Amino acid sequence: MTTVFALHVLFVILDANHHNGFVHAVYVLAKTLVLGLGDVFTPDDALIGVIMNYGLAALVYAVVGHLIIRALRR
């Protein structure tokens, strides 16, 4: 999941072509998986907002995933 968010942020920063199939698939998947965290931060610069919001989503997924793995190992 964090890879999807990282790719989405990278594509936004690089202004990737949304008509490309892979870029579009990553965009749709990231929008689906962000689960409401896509608009937590609303700075004036939209690029900063994407970085902060999708970075937060990636962090949440990483922490929750780590906690689940720890719980399963016990």
Question: Is the dihedral angle over the CA atoms 10, 8, 15, 51 positive or is it negative?
Answer: negative
Query: What is the pTM assigned to this prediction?
Result: 0.85
Domain residue ranges in the chain: 2-73
Closest CA to 53 of 68, 74, 28, 31: 31
Q: How far apart are CA 15 and CA 67, in angstroms?
A: 34
pLDDT, tens digit, for every residue of 20-67? 999 999 999 999 999 888 889 999 999 999 999 999 999 999 999 999
pLDDT, tens digit, for every residue of 8-26? 999 999 999 999 999 999 9
